[in-house]
A and B are shown apart, each in its own frame.
Chain A
Amino acid sequence: MATMENARGKSGGLGHMLYDERVRNVLYQLITFCTVGFLAYYLFTNTAHNIEARGMSSGFGFITQTAGFDTDFKLIEYTAGQGTYGRIYIVGMLNTLFVSVLAIVFTTIIGFFFGILRLSNNWIVSKLAAGYVEVLRNTPLLMQIIYWYLGVFALLPRPKQSAELIGGSLLNNRGLYMPSPIYGDLFWLTAIAIVAAIVAVVMIRRWAHKRQDLTGQIFPVFWVGLAVLIALPGVVFLITGSPLSWEYPELKGFNYQGGVRLPPAFLAMLVALSIYHSCYIAEMVRAGIQAVHKGQTEASHSLGVRPGRTLQLVIIPQAMRAIVPPMISTWMNVVKNSSLAVAIGYPDIVSVFMQTSLNQSGYAIEIVGMTMLFYMVVSLSISACMNIYNKRVQLKER
């Protein structure tokens, strides 16, 4: 705001006070505060009155009440008639996070793939990738979710005629069945070997960098690291007698029992979310890489640095600065859009808490508040991560 000169002239007076900028500022804030406050008070009293008049209950005591319904899919122990609403809240949260995190992983991979295709010199490939992006972008996500659910996963064969996949997994209209692992006595050794392999790769990387600094020789860290990650746990596993067996899903009656089951609603959500958001990430990848000035590539090539190294040392570090912040926003959108699960019956937090629990218990305000609180916490955490990333990679300028 401009610093205007204080009105001077004749002594004091209320009229002149009104022209004083400081007085005005305080006045504006006071008016806003009072208006908002009055509005809030008005809504509050109405609500309280209405709740009483309708005989609804309020307060957070319902969290310890038992919920009388069951959910199709849960990651933690919960039994209808024994679990509380509080537990349902957690079940819903975990379901939301489960599908969101998996979708984020897949959508990032698919997005980068199509983003790079989009930059290809081959005209057909580039246009195909562009078509992929345009079709997904201009169709509502909810329609895509419903299409995958009704048009694909519900049309799968019945359990008796399941499609058999590798490793003993099956696909049918009740979901994806996968064998669940049964860990033998000595499996913990393999687990330690995995951790040890990761530590080893980190140390190899450090050693390779030091060696390059000293002697200039370049070490193939990637391939060696990959080999170690596979070989070390692999060898330990075999030596300890392969202590891993599987519980395979078995057909008992009309359905399969045993193993791990991912319901069709979950699969539809996962596929739809991954594919839909990948088109946005593809565009971000394309824009980020194209944002790097062509002169950077030219300067690097003119120094004799090969295209592959140029990508690694010059282009990608700069492109990442443009790609990562909007990509993190897209990840947040994945979490928010997972709430559309309520349309196809996947028991995420909106479906299981905001819809079912609310209808059954009637604690509208508390439940809405708790659900929105969950999303706000997730959103704030992701924003914080983004801010940390931005601070770390900020280009230093005058």
Chain B
Amino acid sequence: MTAAMEAAAAGREQIDSSASTDVMIQMNGVNKWFGEFHVLKDINLTVHAKERIVICGPSGSGKSTLIRCLNRLEEHQEGDIIIDGVTLDSNLKNIDQVRSEVGMVFQSFNLFPHLSVLQNCTLAPIWVRKMPKSEAEEVAMEYLERVRIPEQAAKFPGQLSGGQQQRVAIARALCMSPRVMLFDEPTSALDPEMISEVLDTMVELASTGMTMLCVTHEMGFAKRVADRVIFMDGGEIIEQNTPHEFFDNPQSDRTKLFLSQIIGHG
């Protein structure tokens, strides 16, 4: 358990974790198919502002697909997805608006290798929000400091370690001031000694009241930071609960089997 996580766990009661009754994300009866394969089955999910949600489950359960539907990287065939009041459909304007409010961090970082760290962070603010360059750079440096690598600003992604690259990716997403942050297995591609630096950054982000949906296997992180843990299997949401209830009192047999397999590796 990292120091930041302990601090967050200790201070969590002070953070207004369920302050908002504002609904940030609403998914109603969402179904998705890849060809013939039914990958998301009747997903119903409500996420309030400032909620921190961890989604876990065996591979192939549809967890990544679910969050990728939230910023239209994947299209759903049935059901509604409404993010901060905007319905996500094929209307390009809606898609643009949703994407500017939802930030995403990928398992393989996906930094732009031909641009410097600073340029990675300023690209979207300059070309989407039409910010002047100096302003964009100021904002970028702010977030690079938040993720604790301001000195790497002039370096290129190929020159950084995996943990550093992922932190730059987090800063890059934050530079667009999103209201929701999606994390798709952010630490799965990292060497063990670098996982904690990224998790610390995510914990610190959680403490600022950001709405977060995180697909991850890091159960320690879930226990300490999440407001809700969701278990998915075979394309449907099997169980969701507070971390305490979820880990100590799993309801479904599938959840019990899954937990028995992974606890001990966390």
Residues 87-125 of chain B, each 1 if its beta carbon lies under 8 Å from chain A, else 0: 000000000100110111010101111100000000110
Binds B, one of A66-74, A90-98, A101-109, A297-305: A297-305
* Known contacts A304-B96, A306-B96, A309-B127: A299-B159 contact under CB 8 Å: no
Instruction: Determine how close the nearest CB of chain A comes to the CB of B261; give it in whole angstroms.
Output: 29
Instruction: Determine how close the nearest CB of chain A comes to the CB of B117; give it in whole angstroms.
Output: 11
Chain B residues with CB below 8 A from A296, complex form: 110, 112
Chain A residues with CB below 8 A from B100, complex form: 304
**Structural contact, A303 and B106, CB atoms closer than 8 A:** no
Chain B residues with CB below 8 A from A301, complex form: 71-73, 99
Chain B residues with CB below 8 A from A306, complex form: 96, 128
Chain B residues with CB below 8 A from A212, complex form: 126, 132-133
Residues 210-226 of chain A, each 1 if its beta carbon lies under 8 Å from chain B, else 0: 00111111100000000
* Known contacts A299-B106, A395-B158: A317-B114 contact under CB 8 Å: yes
**Is A8 at the interface (CB under 8 A from chain B)?**
no
Residue of B nearest to A303 (CB): B124
Contact of A305 among B114, B128, B155 (CB under 8 A): B128
**Structural contact, B124 and A213, CB atoms closer than 8 A:** no
**Is A351 at the interface (CB under 8 A from chain B)?**
no
Residue of B nearest to A215 (CB): B132
**Is A54 at the interface (CB under 8 A from chain B)?**
no
Bound Cα distance from A397 to B102, whole angstroms? 30
Chain A residues with CB below 8 A from B124, complex form: 303-305
Residue of A nearest to B169 (CB): A299
**Is A343 at the interface (CB under 8 A from chain B)?**
no
**Structural contact, A318 and B113, CB atoms closer than 8 A:** yes
Chain B residues with CB below 8 A from A217, complex form: 130
Chain A residues with CB below 8 A from B128, complex form: 303-306, 309
Instruction: Determine how close the nearest CB of chain A comes to the CB of B68; give it in whole angstroms.
Output: 8
Residue of A nearest to B72 (CB): A301
Chain B residues with CB below 8 A from A218, complex form: 127, 130
Residues 377-398 of chain A, each 1 if its beta carbon lies under 8 Å from chain B, else 0: 0000000000000000101111
Instruction: Determine how close the nearest CB of chain B comes to the CB of A48; give it in whole angstroms.
Output: 57
Chain B residues with CB below 8 A from A298, complex form: 73, 106, 110
* Known contacts A303-B172, A304-B176: A395-B113 contact under CB 8 Å: yes
Chain B residues with CB below 8 A from A395, complex form: 113-114, 156, 158
We find that the number of chain A residues with CB closer than 8 angstroms to chain B is 30
**Structural contact, A396 and B106, CB atoms closer than 8 A:** no
**Structural contact, B132 and A216, CB atoms closer than 8 A:** yes
* Known contacts A396-B156, A396-B159: A299-B110 contact under CB 8 Å: yes
Chain B residues with CB below 8 A from A317, complex form: 114
Instruction: Determine how close the nearest CB of chain A comes to the CB of B36; give it in whole angstroms.
Output: 19
Residues 184-198 of chain B, each 1 if its beta carbon lies under 8 Å from chain A, else 0: 000000000000000
**Structural contact, A213 and B99, CB atoms closer than 8 A:** no
We find that the number of chain B residues with CB closer than 8 angstroms to chain A is 37
Chain A residues with CB below 8 A from B96, complex form: 304, 306
Chain B residues with CB below 8 A from A309, complex form: 127-128
**Is B170 at the interface (CB under 8 A from chain A)?**
no
Chain A residues with CB below 8 A from B123, complex form: 300, 303, 305, 313-314
Bound Cα distance from A393 to B115, whole angstroms? 11
**Structural contact, A302 and B112, CB atoms closer than 8 A:** no
Instruction: Determine how close the nearest CB of chain A comes to the CB of B116; give it in whole angstroms.
Output: 9
**Is B138 at the interface (CB under 8 A from chain A)?**
no
Chain A residues with CB below 8 A from B237, complex form: none
Bound Cα distance from A303 to B126, whole angstroms? 11
**Is B21 at the interface (CB under 8 A from chain A)?**
no
**Is A12 at the interface (CB under 8 A from chain B)?**
no
**Is B252 at the interface (CB under 8 A from chain A)?**
no
Residue of A nearest to B104 (CB): A302
Chain A residues with CB below 8 A from B108, complex form: 295
Residues 9-28 of chain B, each 1 if its beta carbon lies under 8 Å from chain A, else 0: 00000000000000000000
Residue of A nearest to B136 (CB): A216
Chain B residues with CB below 8 A from A398, complex form: 158-159
Bound Cα distance from A5 to B132, whole angstroms? 64
Bound Cα distance from A362 to B88, whole angstroms? 79
Bound Cα distance from A295 to B106, whole angstroms? 8
**Structural contact, A295 and B110, CB atoms closer than 8 A:** yes
**Is A206 at the interface (CB under 8 A from chain B)?**
no
Bound Cα distance from A396 to B160, whole angstroms? 10
* Complex interface residues of chain A between 318 and 339 (CB less than 8 A to chain B): 318, 321
**Is A22 at the interface (CB under 8 A from chain B)?**
no
Bound Cα distance from A296 to B99, whole angstroms? 15
A–B complex contacts, Cβ < 8 Å, 16 sampled: A212-B133, A213-B132, A213-B133, A216-B136, A299-B110, A300-B123, A302-B73, A302-B103, A303-B99, A303-B124, A303-B172, A303-B173, A304-B124, A314-B112, A321-B114, A396-B159
Extra contacts, 6 of them, besides A313-B127, A396-B155 (Cβ < 8 A), are A213-B133, A216-B131, A293-B110, A303-B103, A304-B100, A317-B114
